[in-house]
Amino acid sequence: MANTNAKKKDTILQAATFLFARKGYRDTAMGELSKMTGAAEGTIFYHFKSKQGIFLSILRSLKADILPEFERYRNAESEHTGLDMVEETISFYLYMTKSREDLFAILNQRYAYELAETNPECREILEAIYNCFVDIFESAITGGQRDGSIDPAIPARKSALIVFSMVDSMVRFRMNNLYDVGALYKELIDSCRRMLENRQRS
């Protein structure tokens, strides 16, 4: 093998992501992680200093993986109106949460928020990710207010938070198998449009 470094480390991180997402942090045993990866339990603690350390590593790579993708999306030039960009961003968010289901399941863990209360790095990562999403919605809204597609009277930041919270709620419904979110997609878009659009277009 060419690469001597960290042969099993990545495997462990990947399996831990899978298990933490499916069963939760507390209900995932190191023994299970060991069985799944084929690594001895000792190996896991050779690479990571603790179970919590694994969780933090996942968050770290989650941030490194997702934030750039969102920055790229945000900086891509677009011919669309701000209102259309809000719709696009919703689609993009739903697509992202579907294609990285495990990562977003981890973001919805209670443990993440408990850890955030004592661990500044954890809190910083969570905030960075959420703020990034809300920022994208906000700049779509202010853009829309400039181009006339979105009502200039509404407060951009707060509305961005509300749109984000709507979409985030849908994602959680999907994760909990409560409702068929696909069936709600069109109505979600329509609702956001009614919420934001400028009614006396120039």
Task: Name the residues that contact a second copy, by CB under 8 A.
Answer: 24, 26-27, 109-110, 113, 117, 130, 151, 154-155, 158-159, 161-162, 165-166, 168-170, 172-173, 176-179, 183-184, 187-188, 190-191, 194-196, 199
Residue type, 149: S
Q: Tell me the CA distances in angstroms from 164 to 40, 93, 136, 141, 146, one per residue in order.
A: 42, 9, 10, 12, 21
Instruction: Report the C-alpha dihedral over residues 8, 67, 194, 159, rounded to 10 degrees.
Output: 120
Please name the residues in contact with 55: beta carbons below 8 A apart, sequence gap of 6 or more. 16, 20, 25, 111, 112, 115
- Nearest of 71, 61, 73 to residue 17 by alpha carbon: 61
Residue recorded with tokens 């959680």: 172
Q: For residue 49, what are its two tokens?
A: 């200093």
* Helix (H) / strand (E) containing 141: helix 120-147
Please tell me whether residue 46 binds DNA under the rule CB under 7 A.
yes
Residue choice 35, 38, 113, 158 for contact with DNA (CB under 7 A): 38
Please tell me whether residue 42 binds DNA under the rule CB under 7 A.
yes
Name the residue nearer to DNA (CB basis): 27 or 65.
27
Residue choice 40, 95, 113, 155 for contact with DNA (CB under 7 A): 40
Shortest gap between Cβ of 28 and DNA (angstroms)? 6
Shortest gap between Cβ of 42 and a second copy (angstroms)? 26
Shortest gap between Cβ of 113 and a second copy (angstroms)? 5
Name the residue nearer to a second copy (CB basis): 16 or 196.
196
Binding site for DNA (CB under 7 A): 1, 4-9, 28-32, 38-43, 45-47, 49-52
